[in-house]
């Protein structure tokens, strides 16, 4: 076995105590013909996460490399967290897995590295994953049916298909991703960076689990804050990636604008509604403001039905309308 690190695992932890042991077990069970390490960064958690990381670092010192902060780096908003993790990524490849997700297949890393080693034109490899919903979250199919094939930018912008815990990327590409203060998440920025520099392959085998928790970003697409965050994030991606200047991205942005305007109008915040409307009218995509009235009344009706019939029945009504083509 070569003594050089082939893979550095990028593991961000913040208050992941209930899930962290399962995550770390997924690292140490990996069977490879190369050396790998897990950089486990605890961002000043207020639970017992740091103690668990220390325990595993003592038990597996050749694999678990802890970074235990005494001050939260993410909240600084100055890119400190990214800089810290970048400086510790020494492997030829970087694998992603946050502290609330976990790997289920001991051959995962070997399988992905073997592919990338034999396909130099590919910058990233990902795989299918199970989805587990914790109390407080509904289980739903986050990623859809994945296939053994190359995935291109338009389809990954239109329908997000990449479980973050499944990503393995070439380190030089990982380090080249842009840093824009408008970004609110990192996984799709990394994927677009990979697509800018090469190709992306999927292995249609479930080798990990993405966990839906009450604080998970993916799937929490409601509320004004998330709308503002998505709009900001999409603006940053359009600025930094020519690949994102496409109808799929503009449609995503328009959906967030419409959701935000709906919430603002519904609560009677007309001044902010008008400000957001003006911002939407100048966004780079095609303008469909004439459809907002229909959008508003449809969603107001849907919410009213949900209140009258209950969550389960209203979901069935919505699914039936989708099948019948009435949501278009």
Taking only the tens place, the pLDDT of each residue in 238-259 is 999 999 999 999 999 999 999 9
Q: Are residues 74 and 159 in the same domain?
A: yes
Token pair belonging to 152: 């291109």
Q: Which residue, among 279, 275, 320, has the nearest Cα to 302 in the 3D structure?
A: 320
For residue 303, give its domain range. Answer: 224-323
Mean pLDDT of the chain: 90
Average pLDDT over residues 109-132: 97
Q: Are residues 174 and 68 in the same domain?
A: yes
Structurally, the chain folds into a number of domains equal to 2
Name which residue leads in pLDDT, 165 or 306. 165
CATH number (domain holding residue 183): 3.90.550.10
Whole-model pTM?
0.87
Average pLDDT over residues 101-112: 98
Q: Are residues 251 and 153 in the same domain?
A: no
Q: Are residues 125 and 104 in the same domain?
A: yes
- What's the pLDDT tens digit per position in 180-215? 999 998 999 999 999 999 999 999 999 999 998 877
> Does residue 142 have a pLDDT over 90?
no
Question: Given this model, what pLDDT does residue 325 score?
Answer: 47
What is the pLDDT confidence band of residue 312, given thresholds at 50, 70 and 90?
Answer: low
Beta bridge partners of 103: 208
> Does residue 216 have a pLDDT over 70?
no
What whole-number distance in Å separates Cα of residue 276 and Cα of residue 270?
Answer: 10
Tell me the three state secondary structure of residue 249.
helix
Q: Are residues 168 and 249 in the same domain?
A: no
Q: Taking the CB of residue 40, how many other CB atoms lie within 10 A of it?
A: 29
Q: Quick check: is 219 in a domain?
A: no
Token pair belonging to 186: 């990192």
Please say whether the dihedral angle defined by the alpha carbons of residues 313, 314, 315 and 319, taken in this order, is positive or negative: positive
Q: Are residues 178 and 233 in the same domain?
A: no
Q: Quick check: is 217 in a domain?
A: no
Beta bridge partners of 92: none
Q: Are residues 124 and 35 in the same domain?
A: yes
Q: Are residues 35 and 55 in the same domain?
A: yes
> Does residue 320 have a pLDDT over 50?
no
Q: Decide which of 189, 212, 235 is a domain's last residue.
A: 212
Average pLDDT over residues 117-137: 93
Token pair belonging to 131: 């989805």
Q: How far apart are the first and last CA of the chain?
A: 56
Contact call for residues 125 and 116 (beta carbons, < 8 A):
yes
What whole-number distance in Å separates Cα of residue 195 and Cα of residue 153?
Answer: 7
Question: Given this model, what pLDDT does residue 324 score?
Answer: 46
Q: Are residues 203 and 301 in the same domain?
A: no
What whole-number distance in Å separates Cα of residue 326 and Cα of residue 328?
Answer: 6
Name which residue leads in pLDDT, 142 or 267. 267
């Amino acid at each position: 076995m070569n003594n050089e690190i082939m893979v550095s695992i990028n593991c961000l932890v913040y208050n992941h105590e209930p899930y962290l042991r399962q995550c770390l077990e997924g690292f140490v069970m990996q069977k490879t013909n190369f050396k790998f390490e897990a950089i486990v960064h605890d961002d000043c958690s207020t639970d017992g996460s740091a103690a668990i990381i220390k325990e595993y670092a003592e038990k597996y010192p050749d694999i678990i490399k802890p970074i235990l902060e005494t001050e939260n780096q993410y909240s600084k908003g100055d890119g400190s967290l990214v800089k810290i993790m970048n400086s510790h990524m020494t492997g030829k490849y970087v694998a992603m897995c946050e502290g609330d997700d976990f790997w289920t297949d001991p051959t995962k890393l070997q399988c992905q590295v073997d592919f990338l080693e034999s396909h130099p034109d590919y910058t990233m490899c990902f795989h299918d994953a199970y989805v587990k919903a914790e109390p407080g979250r509904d289980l739903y199919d986050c990623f859809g049916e994945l296939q053994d094939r190359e995935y291109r930018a338009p389809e990954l912008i239109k329908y997000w298909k990449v479980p973050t815990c499944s990503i393995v990327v070439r380190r030089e590409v990982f380090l080249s991703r842009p840093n824009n203060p408008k970004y609110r998440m990192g996984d799709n920025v990394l994927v677009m960076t990979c697509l800018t520099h090469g190709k992306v392959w999927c292995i249609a085998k479930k080798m990990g689990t993405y966990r839906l928790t009450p604080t998970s970003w993916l799937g929490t697409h409601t509320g004004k804050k998330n709308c503002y965050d998505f709009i900001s994030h999409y603006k940053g991606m359009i600025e930094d990636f020519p690949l994102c200047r496409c109808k799929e991205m503009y449609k995503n942005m328009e959906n967030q604008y419409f959701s935000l305007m709906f919430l603002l109008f519904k609560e009677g915040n007309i001044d902010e509604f008008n400000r957001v409307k003006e911002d939407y009218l100048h966004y780079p995509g095609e303008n469909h403001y004439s459809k907002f009235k229909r959008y508003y009344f449809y969603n107001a009706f849907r919410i009213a039905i949900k209140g009258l019939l209950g969550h389960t029945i209203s979901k069935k009504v919505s699914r039936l309308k989708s099948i019948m083509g009435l949501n278009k």
